[in-house]
Structure 1
Amino acid sequence: MTSATSPAAATSPDPSYRPSGEQAAPTLVAEPAGGVPVVTDTPAGLAACAAALAAGTGPVAVDAERASGIRYGQRAFLVQLKRAGAGIWLVDPEAFEDLAPLDDALRGVEWVLHAASQDLPCLADCGMRPDLLFDTELAARLAGLPRVGLAAVLESQLGLTLAKEHSMADWSTRPLPVDWLNYAALDVELLVELRDALAALLEEQGKLAWAEQEFEHVRTTPPAAPRQDPWRRTSGMAALKRPVQLAVLRRLWQAREDLARHRDLAPGRLLPDSALVAAASTPPRTVPELRATRGFHGRSAAREAPRWITAIRAGIDDAAAGQAPPRHGPGSDAPPPPRAWRDRDPLADRRLTTAKPRIARAAEALGMPPENLLTPDTLRRVCWTPPEPITPETVAAALAERGARPWQVEQTSAIITVALLDPDPARDR
């Protein structure tokens, strides 16, 4: 259960504090005001956490720590929560089948996260899904803040800065060091106060309703479908041209993935992509040849050498049997890269080169990045395949069909309609 294990290293100042001028240094918050809580990792502790959160008031600040690049997948290894009246809780998801009791305790409560799209998938894997969401990073983008990292936004809005030292830590470590726990607790210490400041800023700018649509979009967007042929994302594979090379790469990638999953390690910690590409480029036939291949060094490579040789031989056999993968992966409904438009469809190219800078100017006038006013993919799709006939109504419907939120449609449909109907003349580029 949560308890303060040490006195605060620095008194947390009034969150409403603002520096009096541009030269005012932000105030450092070195530790949560209530101290660093212990980790909740027992059923009794989880029940106490759920009860405390349910009895709290107002929004709940939520964050999660993963072990990206160290462990297999993107699961959470620590979940941090803070709610008024409940204090900060640090929960170890690895100790439980799921965190459904916390989800139940927070039904109907607004969750405050920074860069929510990064953490919502791993929280969902723990059985935690918000009913309401406020994303402080997305709010900062819509408000036009120049820097949107948590520390930068806290500094600009509250005049505070956090002691941040362990962002690249291996959060699968057990037990977690106290200074790491302090870092994790600080991630939720001031999120609700930051949420209030950003909401006030967005309200002042007339953008709060837009932000709420964006938050709901993030909250309700389903997980991405599994990639077809994920091995095709191997870095450097463009150098491989022959069918046998692609067949060997596919088998090596699959073998590495299976072993990584079994060992709970990030695949790149077993073998880097460059090693897979090197072996696929000139497939070694024996263990000594493999050991001489770039990337296949050290005790781990020697211990698993038979696995890699088996995969290489299977790839060679695939190619010999006419079962090598095609050079290019499965087709997509996405338009071709814009650099190819001028040759493939000059009119579409003119539509895009007309609409894109106009959207950028509109975004600048609204004080936000162009990609937040309308995603580049949505703009490309509408310019490549415009609706027929082209009218304000059909363009608005096309944007909505492609995922644009109502506020985005309202702000961009007229601009895009004009660009589609009357694109600028072609220019040498």
Structure 2
Amino acid sequence: MSETLYRPRLGSVPLTDNQQQYQDCLREYRTPGQYVAFDTERASGIRYLDKAYLIQAKGQSAPLVLLDPLTLPDLSDFSAACKNSTWVLHAAKEDLECMEWAGLQAPHIFDTQIAAKLLGYEHVGLGAVTEEVLGVKLAKNHTRENWSLRPLKQSWLDYAALDVEYLVELAVTLKEQLETAGRLPWAEQEFAYALANFHRPTDTDPWRHLKGAGKAKSPRQLGLLRELYYQRDQVAKERDLAPSRVLPNRDLVDLVLQPPRSYQELSARPFMKRRQLRRNARLWWQAIKKVRSLPSEQLPGKAPLRKLHEITAIATWEKIDPARAQLYRTLKEDVATWAQENQIWAECALSPSAIRQVAAYWEKSDDTATLLEVAAARSWQKEIFLPRFEKICTHWTRG
């Protein structure tokens, strides 16, 4: 059994948090090598924005560095220094956007998690893959720290450094395995897609998608949900706190479903016992009174009906269109069967959204290729599943 590592091979790495140290770092990264490993540490669920509060990097021919984006907010020079390298990340989608805020824009990526899924590894977290592929066990003892705090403890920095310490070696080994399996072209297409599509889609009505929001049915409830959501968001933004720390989702929804009739009744709610939550009580009460007085025409209505391909539950499809629900089920089972036979994660074989697109709108043979294209299926996926889906859909009847 591998011994757990708690610090990099060459020992602890100090935090680069001033311009002089940063310039030294840039000199060391004049020729970083073919690959540069990157990772970030955030304060998700603590701060308002899910941005990076620490950026780790290690070049194939350059030393491991820990960059502080709080004192070095523009790392575009570092990005330029690494522009001719492939950036190695694990679960890149989680890091690319917050890296971009700090001036880091990846030219090309190698995502070790995607590679592991394409190779059929059962566990694809960074620690699990590193241990299985390289025989190196990384410590995971600081996964939930508040990385926005300063100063950062050296034990935290050691933990963060380990996330990139072996990442280039991991990528090189996984690339060899992909080549042996004949799946490197698949991986390259997946990496390109991930790099082009990491930005979060714009949500015009985010309050409708709050956990538990579906319980709000009446226009008055929906109006209060909207008002409380945006009031909370404004406070969270001003105080740089995650919205759930200003007012937890379950308590917000509870206020919507069972609005207090008086300020005293509001003050008696269980969440008001916490000082941090109690400080905004009058704001919530003002929101409740405001929505009570709104004329009905200013209240929101029900959300527009979702298109069939946007609905993920097959049980809901059964109620809307049983025949297409059966097609959806058959296509999904076919992808799962192929994935199992070829030892690859089903979600990498073909995305659930692509399966739904075909199941929802197929009418004739010529539709299959177009629908897979609309769903952004990659070339390798279309080569595999276009003939399989054609066969299934051609034999499908609406009943």
- TM class, shorter-chain normalised? over 0.9
**Code of the aligned partner of 2:154:** V
- Residue 417 (1) aligns with residue 394 (2): no
Structure 1 partner of 2:211: 235
The structure 1 residue matched to 2:131, chosen from 155, 176, 180, is 155
Structure 2 partner of 1:328: 303
State whether residues 359 and 415 of structure 1, in contact with CA within 8 Å, keep that contact through their aligned partners in structure 2: no
CA distance in 2, matches of 1:227, 1:282: 26
Structure 1 partner of 2:278: 302
State whether residues 243 and 326 of structure 1, in contact with CA within 8 Å, keep that contact through their aligned partners in structure 2: yes
**Code of the aligned partner of 1:409:** K
Q: Give 1:336-415 correspondences, 5 Å limit.
A: 336=311, 337-386=313-362, 389-391=364-366, 394-415=367-388
49-58 vs 103-112, which deviates more? 49-58
- TM-aligned CA deviation for residue 353 of structure 1: 2.4
CA distance in 2, matches of 1:46, 1:85: 18
State whether residues 308 and 317 of structure 2, in contact with CA within 8 Å, keep that contact through their aligned partners in structure 1: no
**Code of the aligned partner of 2:63:** G
Deviations 1:367-401 (A, max 9, x none): 10211110011111111101x5414xx42333123
339-348 vs 126-135, which deviates more? 339-348
- Residues 166, 101 of structure 1: alpha-carbon distance in 2 compared, 3 angstrom cutoff: same
State whether residues 355 and 416 of structure 1, in contact with CA within 8 Å, keep that contact through their aligned partners in structure 2: yes
What TM-score comes out, normalization by structure 1 length? 0.88
- Residues 298, 31 of structure 1: alpha-carbon distance in 2 compared, 3 angstrom cutoff: closer
**Code of the aligned partner of 2:141:** E
RMSD of aligned Cα (Å) = 1.9
**Code of the aligned partner of 1:41:** D
- TM-aligned CA deviation for residue 330 of structure 1: 6.9
State whether residues 35 and 85 of structure 2, in contact with CA within 8 Å, keep that contact through their aligned partners in structure 1: yes
Higher relative contact order (CA 8 A, sep 6+): 2
- Residue 199 (1) aligns with residue 175 (2): yes
Structure 2 partner of 1:113: 89
State whether residues 67 and 170 of structure 1, in contact with CA within 8 Å, keep that contact through their aligned partners in structure 2: yes
Deviations 1:179-224 (A, max 9, x none): 0000000000000110111111111111111111101110111513
- TM-aligned CA deviation for residue 142 of structure 1: 0.4
Structure 2 partner of 1:6: none
Structure 2, gaps ≥5 residues long:
none
- Residues 340, 300 of structure 1: alpha-carbon distance in 2 compared, 3 angstrom cutoff: closer
- Residue 58 (1) aligns with residue 58 (2): no
- Residue 43 (1) aligns with residue 16 (2): no
Structure 2 partner of 1:29: 5
**Code of the aligned partner of 1:323:** Q
CA distance in 2, matches of 1:55, 1:46: 16
CA distance in 2, matches of 1:401, 1:286: 52
State whether residues 357 and 372 of structure 2, in contact with CA within 8 Å, keep that contact through their aligned partners in structure 1: no
CA distance in 1, matches of 2:176, 2:48: 40
- TM-aligned CA deviation for residue 75 of structure 1: 0.4
Deviations 1:225-274 (A, max 9, x none): 32121111222233322222221121111111100011001111111112
CA distance in 1, matches of 2:111, 2:206: 30
- TM-aligned CA deviation for residue 33 of structure 1: 1.4
State whether residues 279 and 293 of structure 1, in contact with CA within 8 Å, keep that contact through their aligned partners in structure 2: no
State whether residues 323 and 398 of structure 2, in contact with CA within 8 Å, keep that contact through their aligned partners in structure 1: no
Match of 2:271, SS state, is coil
Structure 2 partner of 1:283: 259
- TM-aligned CA deviation for residue 30 of structure 1: 2.6
Give the share of equivalent positions with the same residue, in percent. 36
What TM-score comes out, normalization by structure 2 length? 0.94
- Residues 329, 266 of structure 1: alpha-carbon distance in 2 compared, 3 angstrom cutoff: farther
- TM-aligned CA deviation for residue 406 of structure 1: 0.4
360-369 vs 187-196, which deviates more? 360-369
State whether residues 112 and 195 of structure 1, in contact with CA within 8 Å, keep that contact through their aligned partners in structure 2: yes
CA distance in 2, matches of 1:400, 1:109: 30
CA distance in 1, matches of 2:100, 2:305: 29
